[in-house]
Amino acid sequence: MIQNTVYWPKETYRNIMVYAKSFVDVYVGETLVYVNSLDNLAVAIN
């Protein structure tokens, strides 16, 4: 699990995301962190 906090200019978003190998590993509407096809770390909402 990864905790993510976005500040712009104050805290506007906070969420705990899971690291998943594919979108099928999480429920619809859940956020995830994965390695995309360019071998970069990516964040997405399923």
Which pLDDT tens digit goes with each residue over 14-33? 999 999 999 999 999 999 99
Q: Look up residue 8 and give its two tokens.
A: 């712009």
Q: Which two tokens stand for residue 13?
A: 């978003």
pLDDT of residue 45: 92
Strands 31-35 and 2-7: unpaired
Instruction: Report the predicted TM-score, pTM, of the whole model to 2 decimal places.
Output: 0.73
Cα separation, 43 vs 34, whole angstroms: 7
Beta-bridge partner residues of 40: none
- Tell me the pLDDT of the chain averaged across its residues: 93
Q: Write out the two tokens for 32.
A: 């995830």
